[in-house]
Amino acid sequence: MKRVSILGASGYTGRELARLLASHRELQLDGFLAAREGVAPEAPELECDRAVEPLDWARVERCDGVFLCTPHGTSAELARKLVAMGKRVVDLSADFRLKSAPSYHAVYGHAHAAPELLAGAVYGLTEHARDAVARAQLLANPGCYPTSILLALKPLLAAGLVDRAHTVVCDAKSGTSGAGKNPSERTHFGNVHENFLAYGVGTHRHAPEIRQESGLDDLVFTPHLLPVFRGILSTVYVKPKDGVTAADLRACLASAYAGERFVRVFAKGQPELNRVQRTNECHLAVAESGPLCVLTSAIDNLVKGASGQALQNMNLMLGCEESAGLV
């Protein structure tokens, strides 16, 4: 068995990874570690009963792969050291998703800590980068909202079926776990229960990532907060090219994802959150609505939108079965 470590293990994504790795037949979770030496934060037993230990570089040294479940701004310096150690690294933060240091600075408000690594980092939307993922040493795990939207859009854009002269509108809703474990006034139970709202309108940090990876400049992205813990449902509004129907778009998606273990294209009906929660699946549907077509995409933000896709990518990077540890 190959060994892996999780740095920043006390958060939702670290705990989710530990849950997934517990049933993995080819990877052993050796280090369940904090992001700093000498510090072992207390963490509730959310998804596993394993205690978080202080960062121990000797433990990391004996591992084949490392997951960084650390905040943006923290991952980059850790990644630099891990790459120098020759480790295969999957970063679940945003530090390597944008392709240029100026873009990163503009979006996240501070200079990138390891700009020399940006060019070599692979953007790990697995179904669209499988060969590059397998060769990667440093991988940027996509954001949860971008994963749900890009899986719906990319095959249609590649096939030239979408009218790029028309604005693409991405309307996405996420459970509260997407905000991370640190409590805030906005994610307090009393403010979420029986409530629903848009947030980050026109300013959300995932919008530049979606534009970069889709190649669409004329794209509007609006996220919403659902009164649930996990899951994302996105509706993407596109204008098909003249003569292109919803059936054509659906056929394109079905062809693109034929044989894919974790992407299901509905022939009829619509995706729902309770069908994808705690799975690494993405469910897609297409429907006609006047002059537009509506793409619906549902994922679990903590699994396919974070830890599950990270494990899918690490499996490829370390030569394991791609679906190992995942459902």
| CB-based contact 117:166 (threshold 8 Å) | no
Beta carbons of 315 and 291 less than 8 angstroms apart: no
Distance from CA of residue 212 to its chain's centroid? 15
Mind giving me the DSSP string for 142-174? PPHHHHHHHHHHHHHHHTT-B-TTS-EEEEEEE
Q: Tell me how far the alpha carbon of residue 279 is from its chain's centroid.
A: 13
**Burial readout 74-95 (b: 16 or more C-beta within 10 A, e: otherwise):** bbbebbbebbeeebbbbbbbbb
The percent helix, strand, coil of the chain (3-state, each to 5) is 35, 20, 45
Query: Rounded CA gap, 159 and 162, in Å?
Result: 8
Catalytic residue among 69, 144, 170, 320: 144
Supply the angle between the helices 12-21 and 308-317 in degrees, to the nearest 10.
50
Look up 48 and say whether it is catalytic.
no
Active site residues: 144
